[in-house]
Amino acid sequence: MSPEVSDVDFPLPQPFADEEWEAIVAAAVANVAAIEAAQDQDDPAEAAVQDLLEAQPAGARAALTLPVPAGACARTPTWHSRRYWLTLCEWIAANTDRGKTALKRHGIAAETFLKVCAAHAEYADSPTGRDVAATLATLASRSKLSTDQLKRGRRVLKTLELGVELARGKKLNGHEREAAARLYAQAHGQAPTRLQSGAASVWALSAPLWAVEAMPAPEKPKRRSQRRSARRARKTGASTSRPVSSVPRKSPRSAPQSSRGSFLVCLSVRKDHQARERAGEEHSTPTRIRPLTLQRAAAELVERVPALRAVVGLDEATGKRRGHIGSVCDLLVEAGIDTTRWTGADIAQALNHDGAARGWMWPAAETMTSPLRLLAFRLSQLDWSSPSLTERKIHGRELAGECPAEAAYRLVKAHRRTRAAVSAKLAPPASDEHRRAIREQLTADLAAKKAARAMASVRVG
């Protein structure tokens, strides 16, 4: 280093004056405020995009689906299954005056209408019948129907309450196009070459109460005898020498469905009954019919406990029965639950409250080896002698000779009928003469306003 440079004295930094320091702080505060304001302006857009992405249904495709308004799904009854809904549509269209009138009003044949129903059911969510967001072009290409036929079929679905339009299709705004681009990138790993410009309507296929009550229940086929009468007669003599044991036999291949093994007893009694029939004996044991309140409580409990759906009801994929609802009825009887006081909703709520207090929760259905055993254990842990939630709610509203559960079902059914009647009282569509008169009146009003503005401008000039 040269001595000339080393001998130079650099001035030491001096402290800022109060005025200078205040000016620097004020400038820094202003810069921070400007940055925060810019972020606040960007946050609403980002929040809107995130809300759209979170509102996408499970298993959504790469295309954006319009969000459904809050409460719209709660007001729409779900279907039982795809097969049942298609059968319901066919029966309503062919056997009810309301269905025939709707088809005639919208100018569509019954066969074409059923094709429209099948096309929509193909894209519906299997458990609920909702999330039908396919475009008319997609439906037309898959079903070999025209767009006009699909529109007419949708009008019939809406008229018969078999389908509800939860969200109307529209052109996408900036936030929705950004959400659609992100959804496409998540599905394909790259940005779309062409942004999505519009979204289809979102429909829910429904099974309304009036249609379910109108369609009769399917008749059960009569069972045929498994043995011929001649063979039964030959075995009659041999069977009389061997007394039929009255002790129920246990099957090594079937596991007990409850802590008391009621399913084994029923199974053994059924086997003995079949053996006596094959031997030609007279079976005089009367058939025990479960009370309606017990059957309703069991069905409501299965509906509110997802773990039980894997062992009771129908398999949506194969259409085969998994198990009979009677096994759940037997568990309720063994637990000492009076289903004239406790509905299925009350039982499910009591189990949920007890589980929350104990820190328990229902495990996933695929991880359970015996859901009915678990249900029997959970039911045995509670005291069912106290008043139920239904009893406390409808106290004093029962009719003469009516139990609390029957009163609750009656009130719910009356409420649904009233709501359906109120919603059905819609104003008739405007006639052509009324529309023409309104248009003429609007044209006259606009012409008068235009003339008034012209006169005002002339006066000012």
Q: Angle at which helices 82-95 and 110-122 pack, to 10 degrees?
A: 160
What is d(CA 129, CA 86) in angstroms, rounded to the nearest whole number?
Answer: 11
Residue 2: inside a domain, yes or no? Answer: no
In a domain, 409, yes or no: yes
Would you say 341 and 386 are in contact if contact means Cβ atoms under 8 Å apart? no
pLDDT, one tens digit per residue, over 72-87 is 888 888 888 899 999 9
Provide the residue range defining the domain that includes 461.
430-461
Q: Are residues 198 and 164 in the same domain?
A: yes
The CA distances from residue 168 to 132, 133, 198, 271, in Å, are 12, 10, 11, 57
**pLDDT, tens digit, 9 for 90 and up, residues 153-191:** 999 999 999 999 999 988 888 888 888 888 888 777 788
Q: Say whether both 372 and 395 belong to one domain.
A: yes
Domain count of the fold of the chain: 3
Same domain, 417 and 444: no
What pTM was computed for the model? 0.42
* Same domain? 390 vs 436: no
**Domain endpoint, select from 214, 235, 251:** 214
- Residue, of 336 and 460, whose pLDDT is higher: 336
More confident residue, 456 or 424: 456
| Of the residues 214, 244, 270, the one at which a domain ends | 214
Q: Is residue 90 part of a domain?
A: yes
Helix or strand holding residue 166 (H, E): strand 163-167
Domain assignment present for 142: yes
Same domain, 446 and 368: no
In a shared domain, residues 328 and 389: yes
150, 139 contact by CB (below 8 A) = yes
- How far apart CA 204 and CA 410 sit, in angstroms, is 27
Confirm whether 268 is domain-assigned. Answer: no
For residues 98 and 157, membership in a common domain is answered with: yes
